[in-house]
């Protein structure tokens, strides 16, 4: 569902000067755990995490109550050692801000551009590049939320389902390497 962003200008002005260094970000909000960037989209935000998945649905990085919320990591995910399925949430704003620009990632011209096939996710301790192997839409109650896959073969069954959603390039399974 799209959340109406009625004043894009105010939105841009409010968040355009967010610090980009962790020491400054942490003075604004101790919940900052990383930074997410998706090439050729508006997704370029500090990521927060708290002890629930409700707070940042309605609060920004400054702690203000806002309809647009903020980008945040699922409270069940570990930030020191990332889980097999790290979930990062953000509202789908019509203006393209937060995760509203994700709709462009299903366009052929976007996902066939090699520059766009890598997502940057940096934490306080690590700099990471993630290769995209699947892009698809899910409902908010989709199976992806079940991140606690216990059995190894079930995990690869889940990954196979995800890979089949975008079967435009071969997927190579590397056992023992976190995908």
Of 1-5, 39-43, 97-101, where does the model show the most confidence?
A: 39-43
Element (H, E) at 35: strand 32-38
Radius of gyration of the chain (CA): 17
Q: What does the mean pLDDT of the chain come to?
A: 76
pLDDT at 31: 97
pLDDT at 177: 41
Query: Average pLDDT in the 33-45 region?
Result: 91
Residue 162 has pLDDT above 80, yes or no: no
pLDDT at 90: 87
Residue whose tokens read 């260094």: 21
Look at residues 69, 105, 65, 61 and name the one whose alpha carbon lies nearest to residue 89. Answer: 69
Bridge partners of 46?
35
pLDDT at 62: 93
Residue 124 has pLDDT above 50, yes or no: yes
Query: Average pLDDT in the 131-139 region?
Result: 71
Provide the whole-model pTM: 0.74
């Amino acid at each position: 569902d799209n959340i109406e962003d009625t004043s894009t200008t105010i939105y841009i002005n409010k968040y355009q000067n967010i610090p980009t260094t962790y020491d400054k970000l942490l003075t604004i909000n101790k919940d900052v755990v990383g930074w997410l960037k998706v090439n050729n989209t508006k997704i370029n935000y500090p990521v927060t995490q708290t002890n629930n998945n409700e707070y940042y649905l309605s609060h920004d990085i400054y702690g203000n109550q806002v309809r647009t919320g903020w980008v945040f990591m699922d409270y069940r995910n570990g930030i020191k050692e990332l889980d097999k399925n790290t979930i990062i949430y953000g509202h789908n704003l019509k203006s393209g801000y937060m995760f509203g620009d994700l709709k462009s990632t299903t366009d052929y011209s976007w996902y066939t551009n090699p520059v766009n096939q890598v997502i940057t996710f940096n934490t306080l301790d690590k700099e990471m590049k993630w290769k995209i192997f699947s892009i698809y839409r899910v409902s908010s109650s989709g199976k992806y939320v079940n991140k606690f896959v216990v059995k190894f073969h079930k995990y690869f069954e889940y990954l196979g389902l995800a890979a089949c959603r975008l079967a435009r390039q071969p997927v190579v399974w590397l056992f023992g390497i976190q995908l």
